[in-house]
A and B are shown apart, each in its own frame.
Chain A
Amino acid sequence: MKPILTLDKVSVHYGKLHAVQQVSFVIQPGERLCLIGANGAGKTSLLKAIAGLLPASGSMHTDSVAITRKPPHFVAAQGIALVPEGRGIFKQLSVLENLQLGAWLRKDTAAVQTDIDNILQQFPRLAERRHQRGGQLSGGEQQLLAIQRALLGKPRLLLLDEPSMGLAPVMVNAVFDSLEKACRQGVALLLVEQNARLALGFCQRGLVMESGRITLTGDSGSLLDNAQVQAAYLGL
């Protein structure tokens, strides 16, 4: 099977600062890959670069086209959806409008409506508040909404930036339950997460990023057993 996303020596600069340096990895269809690392390691920059929100050098391509230095709407059209850090909810727009915007690129209006109905059925809190502003939802509900909005675009790969940040444990569970469901339907995942234990528990494979470089890769089990990872990210 061809990888769904291939990164080859990707770098991102902010002026003279090298946020991401020579990062290479692949994601297979349906795979769950997590990216762990400290604050400022370059995780968010890497996600933004993939999504086309930051200019990057090196080469990035999906199974069919190159997405290096392509605008974000082009990347989205290739089936790569980003749930940005801080969720990126359209705060003044209603929950329903938020969902509809997630399906922006889809032409099958009837199927979109069915999908939206399914989401509302699955998440009663969103259904109750579908005509209220997205900004009025709690943090966890906003995160759920952001993920469902991204999934409405029928992506093949979901890029998630810190979905557990600032959420109560019960909401974190709800968020990861919803991710589990999406993955079972075949969506691949690139998960950036501070909570390394959570991330490695959820994904099959992990990357450790330090000051812009990937320093360790491996399947989750081996990373959880790795002494370095334990000391730096698991607090053991």
Chain B
Amino acid sequence: MSHSRRSAWSTYAALAIGLLALPFLLQAGIGRSWVRIIDMALLYSMLALGLNIVVGYAGLLDLGYIAFYAVGAYVYALLDSPQFGLHWPLWAVLPIGAACAGLSGVLLGAPTLRLRGDYLAIVTLGFGEIIRIFLNNLNEPVNITNGPQGICLIDSVHLGTFSFSHNHTTMLPGLTGPVQYYYLFLALTLLVMFIALRLQDSRVGRAWAAIREDELAAAASGIHLRNFKLLAFAMGATFGGLAGGLFAGFQGFVSPESFNLMESVMILCMIVLGGMGNVYGVVLGAITLTVLPEALRMLGDWQLNHLGHVIVDPNDLRMLIFGLALVAMMLIRPAGLIRSRRHQREYAGDRP
């Protein structure tokens, strides 16, 4: 084994150990709540990776992506809660949720095939709102979604008798619910990353890239525009639905207000910040934008402890810092934290 390969392996090993130990370190170091925050960051990573297929790979600007997350979450909630008295197993509920989301992706995609850019953005934005308003109002005449109250007492994510929400501290000290979710979400995030990477380098990925670059030339080369656009919508939505189902089981509660336009915008920000089209960048963006607001919250506690009262509410600061961060990014790293290969080429100039 060559030296460079050995060092690559040791880097991977260190990374794996670091990822496995992370929740325990967080619990011991800065507090339990941080494990939950990292769990959410992983859920958002899956979401952002899904949206990245639509926006980053195929170049279709989707501003209603959160709707697929909502579909996945509500499917899980309806099939695994006292709402209808159903308690279906995980292996059925997650795929059904993902499939429903994928189907709604096709339903959104089909009428918008001819739209591009701003027009597509507005229609998808409308679609996102329609789903949310549906969920808000489907409590009459037949109560399906329980309206704005949402659905609570959702079963936790469970495999057989093993529930991810129950502590198993007797098995291993510190193995709490959030830590177990961490491992589940980590595994699924890695799976989604793997799929996303393979897709990018596949024939399908190349067709998407061609459509993104020049739709007419792509069509004239024989690429079936309709099929590949629908495939992008469906695949992105499927990942969104998967993340949504996990979210419902993780939170134990869903309501329409979790799926508003700001959430769609946030996920898009994660992609833009991280580096559109780059899988690692997108994950980094998702983690940054989930962790940052929580870190800011600590600023409020600090003010309370040291100054006696909160002078600047960190919640107000949040949007300001987001805005500044995005502007700074545009100036310093316009292609995102981690540039995609294509962008590297763009900035590399004429060097071969």
Contact = CB atoms under 8 A, between A and B. Distances in A.
Interface stretch (A15-23, A130-138, A166-174): A130-138
Given A73-B219, A101-B206, A90 B213 contact: yes
A42 interface: no
Interface string B324-352: 00000000000000000011011010101
A10 interface: no
Given A92-B342, A132-B350, A76 B209 contact: no
Nearest to B341: A94
Given A97-B206, A133-B345, A84 B352 contact: no
Contact of B214 (A51, A77, A88, A104): A88
14 contacts: A53-B216, A73-B222, A76-B220, A88-B216, A89-B214, A90-B210, A92-B209, A92-B345, A93-B210, A97-B209, A100-B206, A104-B222, A133-B345, A135-B346
Contact of A92 (B219, B346, B350): B346
Kindly list the 4 A-B residue pairs having the minimum CB-CB distance in the complex, ordered from nearest.
A88-B217, A72-B219, A76-B222, A90-B213
Interface of B: 206-207, 209-210, 212-214, 216-226, 342-343, 345-346, 348, 350, 352
Interface size class, chain A: 20 to 34
Contacts of B216: 53, 72, 84, 88
Contact of B220 (A81, A97, A100, A132): A81
Given A53-B220, A71-B219, A88-B217, A101 B345 contact: no
Contacts of B223: 73, 101, 104
B219 A105 contact: no
A52 B222 CA distance: 11
Counting chain B CB atoms within 10 Å of each CB, which of A76, A90, A91, A132 scores highest?
A: A90
A102 interface: yes
Contact of B221 (A94, A104, A131): A104
A128 to B, nearest CB: 6
A141 B124 CA distance: 38
Contacts of A101: 206, 210, 218, 221, 223
Contacts of A132: 345, 348, 350, 352
A69 to B, nearest CB: 14
A72 B227 CA distance: 13
Contacts of B348: 132
A97 B212 CA distance: 14
Interface in A69-128: 71-73, 76-77, 81-82, 84, 88-94, 97, 100-102, 104-105, 128
A51 B220 contact: yes
A84 to B, nearest CB: 6
B219 A153 contact: no
B346 A133 contact: yes
B345 A94 contact: yes
Contacts of A71: 219, 224-226
Interface in A128-171: 128-129, 131-133, 135-136, 149-150, 153
